Structure 1
Amino acid sequence: MSAGRTLVVTNDFPPRQGGIQTFVAALLERRPPESLVVLASRSPGWERYDAQLPYPVVRQRTAVLLPTPATSRAAVALAAEHGCDTAFFGAAAPLGLIAPALRAAGVRRLVGATHGHETGWVALPGARQLMRRIAGGLDVLTYISDYTRTHLEPALGGRTRLAQLSPGVDVDRFTPSADGRAVRRRHGLGEAPVVVCVSRLVPRKGQDALVAGWPRVLARHPDARLLLVGGGPDEGRLRRAVADRGLGGSVVLTGPVPPAQLPEHYAAGDVFAMPCRTRRGGLDVEGLGMVYLEAAAVGLPVVAGTSGGAPEAVRDGETGTVVADPRSPEAVAAAVTALLDDPARARAMGAAGRAWVEERWSWTTIAADLAALLDPGED
């Protein structure tokens, strides 16, 4: 038995894909492997994935790990078997409900993560009560942005300590040396100035405002191209909008792109733009906006919207521009055009963004934050 391990309890773990899965895997990759044991659910390809990991993963026979008595017993047994004195919940809700059982079994410190969607939950009475129960069993509940903290803190009523633990950027993958030439060739972009948006195609992300404002950009930069990278339920509507406005020659929708190809798609652009906006009375909101930081890491200036924590991923006027009214196609077009008008300023913003991401948002920095939360006495 090795002492001092961390039990990671998570329903969100590769090879299943998603933002929380990436978050958890990237954090664990930077922890000492001998300090970890993971309890997770199963997803297609899990045997092959787990075989190449340097730490043990125990998979319950389910596609969804829930805070059932069986899950609680499995977690307690793993903690005892591997001498775990700390636990980390990759998503605190709902699995954090088993935290009291782990504490009763001798786990001394329990940390649970939130990821942004919980700000909507705490606006609903039933879900708010659930989050309060979860928080009451933890030593620390993490948040990804100041925006999410301001919504969680009053709802939780001081039941636990809150601390920031944001997603990070792989600064070795997302880098100014990423080569976008193949993407440009594939989509016939040539040497044109390119505005790129990498995101799921849903109304909150604001691709519709980019398309609606694109004629104004073309009025000043007739050779410019708009590259919309990603798939989603809004794809049909966006394609119709492009066709209706006669923009088929200057707007390209790539469809879904494998995660491994994202750096080269960012690198195909000169400016990154995602004018996100809050919808549904605050229930549909951007928790942080990692795409801004990934674009900055590649060396692009960014144009962001005001939704939720998105402005926290941009140093307005230094690494990019926050559009005060992201619903306005005119305002979005003006921000994009200003950067295309001044390539030297755009490059300077991109360089400043890269430096900021390396300093504040790299996974190495974020992993150190987690280490300090798991062991406040750790150097």
Structure 2
Amino acid sequence: MPQHPYALAGLTVLHMTQPVEGGVARVVAQLAAAQVRDGARVVVACPPGGPLTRAVEAVGAEAVRWPARRSPGPGLPVEVTAAAHVLGDVDPDLLHLHSAKAGLAGRLAAHGTVPTVFQPHAWSYEAARGPVAAAAVRWERHAARWTDRLLCVSEAERASGLAHGIRGAWSVIPNGVDTGHFAPAEHPAAVRATLPALAGVRPGAPLVVCVGRLCPQKGQDVLLDAWPAVAAALPGARLALVGDGPDARRLLARAPDGVLLAGPVADPLPWYQAADVVVQPSRWEGMALAPLEAMACGRPVVLTDVAGARESLPDGDAARCVVPVGDAPALATALLRLLTDPGLRRDTAGRALAHARDHHALDTATDAVAELYAALTHHADPDDPGDRTAPTALPAPQLGAPR
């Protein structure tokens, strides 16, 4: 584990998040684990009943109940009041707010009274249209005054905020993945045999995997529009949608032949390892976690041209692996290019693996966040030269398919 000279011992960090599964929750759990190892008291406020509570408690952090719904609505005053009670009870040295709802309720509750980091994980205005989107932009501009640091996961996410008039102090820390856990399989065919959803699928059949919440953001409907062209060229090919969400029933009803809805999983690792190609057809992102995990497993990825997509990839691969948002024919073409050319697929996978290990290691990301916390709280230890012995590793959090 890389060492850093920023001592978090004695610091109380409060993370607040509404998503309790998927990519945002995985990031929160990873940060919690690293910060507990660094000696901080870590508290995670989130809705009850999801896997995040179990994950953070397993790594030695505290979980507290913060009831919140994904979308804004008439329950917001109750959510803000609950957030204020959590702040009073925890008395944190630093507040780290994740995603739109926590960014809304948490900043209304804290009002700048504690050092505050807001990490959008994709901007709220990207999920809306018309007056709602305009209102979201106005809110983000206003709330920046109560934000000590706007933390983005890609330069593109930061550029979007600036283009929409959001002014404040910025940091960009790309998402990281546990490259010890997410790693290539020695025998991918054997991994396929362990997945019940693939029972009856011909061994060696081309397999495309899409991991993520089944919702409009993730664009699985566009992928289903693209799939008939792939299936026509490769009749034995299969597409697996891994995850759950509000669009599950609708996607199932319109799924063409060759498409499998695998449902939610505790750990998407075997699906990445079993895939020939992993695809993420999102409509908006900050920097999606699933493609990075797939790359760490030595798998080529096809992405839509959302924030963070090009930054996720090795130099030169975007021309082949990034397609316009919502463009089903381009998506099919990119998938077929990789599926029908084993040499290209192998070379792209090798570059992806090296890039994930070199540029998106989890320790690099969590150490950068620790440095940011130390700067905001003036909590560096001048007597620590950075050669501390790494504490015993805690269990890796398992939170299902990333967002």
What's the TM-score once normalised by structure 2's chain length? 0.74
Q: 1:207 to 1:89 in 2, by over 3 A?
A: closer
Q: Which amino acid aligns with 1:40?
A: A
Corresponding residue number in structure 1 for 2:71: none
Mapped partners of 1:37, 1:351: distance in 2: 37
User: Aligned AA for 1:186?
Assistant: A
Give the aligned partner of residue 281 of structure 1: none
Asked if 1 retains the 8 angstrom alpha-carbon contact of 2:18 and 2:47, the reply is: no
Instruction: Please give the alpha-carbon distance, in whole angstroms, between the structure 2 residues aligned to 1:121 and 1:185.
Output: 33
1:192 corresponds to: 205
Distance 1:195 1:131 in 2: 37
- RMSD in angstroms over aligned alpha carbons? 3.3
In the alignment, is residue 120 of structure 1 matched against residue 115 of structure 2?
Answer: no
- 1:190–1:142 distance in 2 versus 1, CA, 3 Å: same
Identity percentage of aligned residues:
28
- Secondary structure at the aligned position of 1:20 is classed as helix
1:320, CA displacement in angstroms?
8.1
3-state SS, counterpart of residue 200 of structure 1: coil
Name the aligned partner's letter for residue 173 of structure 1. H
- Cα distance between partner residues in 2 of 1:271 and 1:99: 44
SS in 2 for 1:299: coil
- Whole-Å separation in 2 of the counterparts to 1:328 and 1:40: 38
C-alpha distance in 2 between matches for 1:369 and 1:335: 34
Query: Residue 99 and residue 165 in structure 1: after superposition, are their counterparts in 2 closer, same or farther (change >3 A)?
Result: farther
Corresponding residue for 2:104?
93
2:218 is matched with which residue: 205, 225, 243? 205
- The worse-fitting range, judged by mean Cα deviation, of 360-369 and 222-231 is 222-231
1:200 CA displacement: 3.0
Aligned length: 349
- Distance (Å, rounded) in 1 between the aligned partners of 2:44 and 2:322: 42
The answer as to whether partners of 2:286 and 2:308 remain within 8 angstroms in 1 is yes
**Aligned residue in 1 for 2:28:** 24
- Bigger relative contact order, structure 1 or 2 (CA pairs below 8 A, ≥6 apart): 2
Q: Which residue of 2 aligns with 1:216?
A: 229
Give the C-alpha shift of residue 259 in structure 1: 2.7
1:59 matched to 2:64? The reply is yes
| Matched position secondary structure for 1:191 | coil
User: In the aligned structure 1, how far is the partner of 2:89 from the partner of 2:253?
Assistant: 55
SS at match of 2:178: coil
d(CA) in 2 for partners of 1:214, 1:121: 25
Letter in 2 for 1:170: D
What is aligned with 1:168? 176
SS in 2 for 1:127: helix
- Partners of 2:171 and 2:341 in 1: CA distance: 39
Offset at 1:371? Answer: 1.0
SS in 2 for 1:259: coil
Q: Is residue 301–residue 350 contact of structure 1 (8 Å, CA) maintained in 2?
A: yes
How far apart are the structure 1 equivalents of 2:216 and 2:44?
35
Match of 2:264 among 252, 257, 260: 257
Measured after TM superposition, the shift of residue 174 of structure 1 is 1.8
Asked if the contact 1:292–1:314 (Cα under 8 Å) also holds between the matched residues in 2, the reply is no
| Distance in 2 between residues matched to 1:331 and 1:309, nearest whole Å | 19
2:276 maps to which residue?
A: 270
The answer to whether the 8 Å contact 2:112/2:147 transfers is: no
1:180 matched residue in structure 2: 192
CA contact (8 A) 1:181 1:268 kept: no
Q: Match of 2:14, SS?
A: strand
Tell me how far 1:263 sits from its aligned partner. 0.9
Q: CA deviation at 1:58?
A: 6.1
Structure 2 vs 1, CA of residues 275 and 313 (structure 1 numbering), >3 Å: closer, same or farther? same
How far did 1:234 drift?
4.1
1:353 corresponds in structure 2 to 352
Letter in 1 for 2:27: F
Tell me the distance in 2 between the aligned counterparts of 1:129 and 1:225. Answer: 44
Query: Residues 374 and 333 from structure 1, CA distance in 2 versus in 1: closer, same or farther, beyond 3 angstroms?
Result: same
Amino acid paired to 1:17: E
Cα shift at 1:52: 4.0
TM-score normalised per structure 1: 0.78
Contact 1:165 1:370 in 2 (8 A): yes
Contact 1:180 1:266 (C-alpha < 8 Å) held by counterparts: no
